[in-house]
Chain A
Amino acid sequence: MKILYFARISEELGKNQEILVIKDKLKINDVINILKSKDEKYNLVFKKISNIKFAINCEYATKNDYITNNDELAIFPPVTGG
Chain B
Amino acid sequence: MKIYFQKKDFNISKELNNFSKKNKKVGSIISFVGKVRPFNNKKKIESMEIDCYKKMAIYQTKKIIDILISRGGVVDYQVIHRFGKLFPSENIILILVASKHRKEGFFFIEKLIKWFKSKITFWKKEFYLKSSTWLKSQK
User: A residues within 8 Å of B by Cβ?
Assistant: 4, 6-8, 10-11, 55, 58-60, 74, 76-82
Contacts and interface: CB of A to CB of B under 8 A. Distances in A.
Contact of B113 (A55, A58, A60, A82): A82
Interface residues of B, number: 29
A26 B111 CA distance: 35
B136 A78 contact: yes
Nearest to A72: B55
Specify the main secondary structure of chain B where it touches its partner.
Answer: mixed
B102 interface: no
Contact of B137 (A10, A58, A60, A78): A78
A6 B116 CA distance: 16
Nearest to B92: A82
A64 B119 CA distance: 19
5 contacts: A58-B59, A74-B53, A81-B122, A82-B92, A82-B117
Contacts of B136: 78, 80
Given A6-B51, A10-B51, A79 B134 contact: no
A81 B56 contact: no
